[in-house]
Chains A and B, each alone.
Chain A
Amino acid sequence: EIVMTQSPATLSVSPGERATLSCRASQSISSSLGWYQQKPGQAPRLLIYGASTRATGIPARFSGSGSGTEFTLTISSLQSEDFAVYYCQQYNNWPPTWTFGQGTKVEIK
């Protein structure tokens, strides 16, 4: 079973600043990693897939990088609407499972 570990658990950032979120896989997952944003009371939204490709309609200030076991989501200049919880997620071929990290909460500093 592949375990996804996100850090930090909470990130305090001022509006306009850069936020860097990390996700580590317990074994190599190539580039099969997605990032989701979830705001309170809302469903998650896909931001990034394939480790670095923005999903449709996602602003360019969101970028993803990494491969293997270490991945990063960067929000270049935090807007008020970006304060939320962010989850990474991987897909494992066998057994077929989809696994999320425990989440990173980005809060206003």
Chain B
Amino acid sequence: EVQLVESGGGLVQPGGSLRLSCAASAFTFSSYEMNWVRQAPGKGLEWVSYISSSGSTIYYTDSVKGRFTISRDNAKNSLYLQMNSLRAEDTAVYYCARGDSSGFYFDFWGQGTLVTVSS
């Protein structure tokens, strides 16, 4: 069964940094595009970042450009999100989500990790 397990969330002060990880299992991780999607408390879903299967192509939503960095280690079946200069509005549950074969949709999701930015 496909599994995605996020970790690394927590409480951080504004301006601080955090690194999220997503451990993948039961599928050929290196063959799939991956994404981070977030959900602020009581709000809807927001796509954050995309990385191609090889890691050579990366995209971000405008609000995190220059602050967040997505990466992956295919040898370790892991996806990462380095978050710097965190703001209160970055407070959310962060999900890693696998892209389906078209890349248009997210066919498997992790359970999410909560990031709280507050002083």
Contact = CB atoms under 8 A, between A and B. Distances in A.
Interface stretch (A15-23, A39-47, A66-74, A76-84): A39-47
Contact of B47 (A43, A50, A99): A99
Per DSSP, chain B at the interface is strand
Interface residues of B, number: 22
A28 B60 CA distance: 23
Contact of A100 (B44, B100, B107): B44
B89 interface: no
Nearest to B46: A100
A91 B110 CA distance: 20
B45 A44 contact: yes
B107 A55 contact: yes
A91 B44 contact: no
Interface of B: 35, 37, 44-47, 50, 59, 61, 95, 100, 102-112
